[in-house]
Amino acid sequence: MTINMNEGRGVIARYREFLPVSASTPVISLGEGGTPLLFSARLSERVGRGSQVFIKNEGVNPTGSFKDRGMTVAVSKAVEANARALICASTGNTSASAAAYAARAGLQCVVVLPAGKIARGKLLQAFAYGAQVVAIDGNFDDALRIGRELGEAGDFAIVNSINPDRIAGQKTAAFEIVDLAGDAPDLHLLPLGNAGNLTAYWAGYREYHAKGKSTRLPAMLGFQAEGAAPIFHNRIVEKPETIASAIRIGNPASWKQARTAIDESRGAVDIVSDREILDAQRWLARNEGIFVEPASAAAIAGLFRCSEAKSAAYSFAAIAEGSRIVCTVTGHGLKDPDALAHEAVDRAPVPADSAAVRKAIGL
């Protein structure tokens, strides 16, 4: 059997010409990218005005989040530069992704995490991939400061989104949307945490537009959790709080870049409550079969807010008929089982016969 190792998936294989890699860059890939862009009839109906709503499901990447797109580039470049160890701060997904790509590359990986604030699935991933996990008595913003300090001291390659190779890789999600849909959407909705992803999508849309691959640029709409909304309030939040632990960030690293992207695109930033986030998570799972983690549901809660709330920062009441809208859902629901614990009722077992099962379901 002959296998062409260059065939198949992976964002470097597909978008090499747009990425900071050369023929001599060793490619460290787990087959990331190429994620589904799913049309949602029910969301389109809920938004109304003849709009078409699509979900870009990034939860089906190799480690279950969009981080893999940037990590393949950042880790490939780190290997090219002869780094021996990686470091990152994380609310969970970056560390899971860094740990996986480090394992694939044969590098040591240190992850610095806020103690007690990482969703269980993500923490287990970091351990499973063999990372050295250090929990700190502080929040994500403290962890990122430590990561930067150790990175700058030259001991580690830092693979947070302050590393431009991460943003370069993540912009490929925008490329995929344009390649598949034939043009950019009118509106693009995303959760906002450290603000790297919105920055990356905007870079991708602009690059493709400049190359004549699309005729328009979308308005970028970012959604923060009510208790962790520094960009919305335009001030650092010292003690960010939200059930959506992935975006529990009070001082985003790409704050300025995301602000510029939102302003240039004539978009907006808005907030959604934890209740709205959990309702949207449940709605998406039950109505579309897409189970996402709470941070990802912020984009869906944001869509509902824009369509239904009078106080929305960006109301859909006036959008053009037939607008094309993309919502990125960023991470898989299985990463954060505890956020859904209230949904799973532990029932007492019934006898092992069909009559008892019929009775249990009310038949």
Q: For binding to ligand F0G (CB under 6 A), which residues are involved?
A: 65, 67, 90-94, 161, 191-197, 246-247, 293, 295-296, 330-331
Query: Which residue shows structure tokens 């037939």?
Result: 322
With respect to ligand F0G, which residue has the nearer C-beta, 92 or 267? 92
Q: Measured in Å, how far apart are the chain's first and last C-alpha atoms? A: 53
Query: Which residue shows structure tokens 């001599």?
Result: 24
Please give the Cα distance from 229 to 271 (Å, whole number).
Answer: 7
With respect to ligand F0G, which residue has the nearer C-beta, 172 or 330? 330
- Compute the least distance from the CB of residue 301 to ligand F0G, in Å: 13
With respect to ligand F0G, which residue has the nearer C-beta, 307 or 328? 328
DSSP class per residue in 231-242: HHHTS--SS---
With respect to ligand F0G, which residue has the nearer C-beta, 19 or 89? 89
Sign, CA dihedral 321-291-222-277, equals: positive
- Compute the least distance from the CB of residue 8 to ligand F0G, in Å: 25
Please give the Cα distance from 120 to 150 (Å, whole number).
Answer: 26
Distances (CA, A) of 320 to 51, 52, 136, 317: 8, 11, 48, 9
Q: How many CB atoms lie within 10 A of CB 220?
A: 25
- Compute the least distance from the CB of residue 347 to ligand F0G, in Å: 30
With respect to ligand F0G, which residue has the nearer C-beta, 169 or 193? 193
Pairing relationship of beta strands 85-89 and 108-114 according to DSSP bridges: parallel
- Compute the least distance from the CB of residue 341 to ligand F0G, in Å: 18
Query: Which residue shows structure tokens 């034939």?
Result: 182
Amino acid at 299: A
- Compute the least distance from the CB of residue 125 to ligand F0G, in Å: 11
With respect to ligand F0G, which residue has the nearer C-beta, 73 or 319? 73
With respect to ligand F0G, which residue has the nearer C-beta, 52 or 270? 270
Please give the Cα distance from 131 to 128 (Å, whole number).
Answer: 8
- Compute the least distance from the CB of residue 248 to ligand F0G, in Å: 9
- Compute the least distance from the CB of residue 115 to ligand F0G, in Å: 15
Please give the Cα distance from 6 to 10 (Å, whole number).
Answer: 9
Report the chain's C-alpha Rg in angstroms: 21
Please give the Cα distance from 98 to 173 (Å, whole number).
Answer: 19
SS3 181: helix
- Compute the least distance from the CB of residue 113 to ligand F0G, in Å: 9
With respect to ligand F0G, which residue has the nearer C-beta, 178 or 192? 192
Total length of the chain = 363
- Are the C-beta atoms of residues 328 and 66 closer than 8 Å to each other? yes
Residue 332 is given by DSSP the state: B
- Are the C-beta atoms of residues 245 and 117 closer than 8 Å to each other? yes
- Compute the least distance from the CB of residue 158 to ligand F0G, in Å: 12
With respect to ligand F0G, which residue has the nearer C-beta, 93 or 323? 93
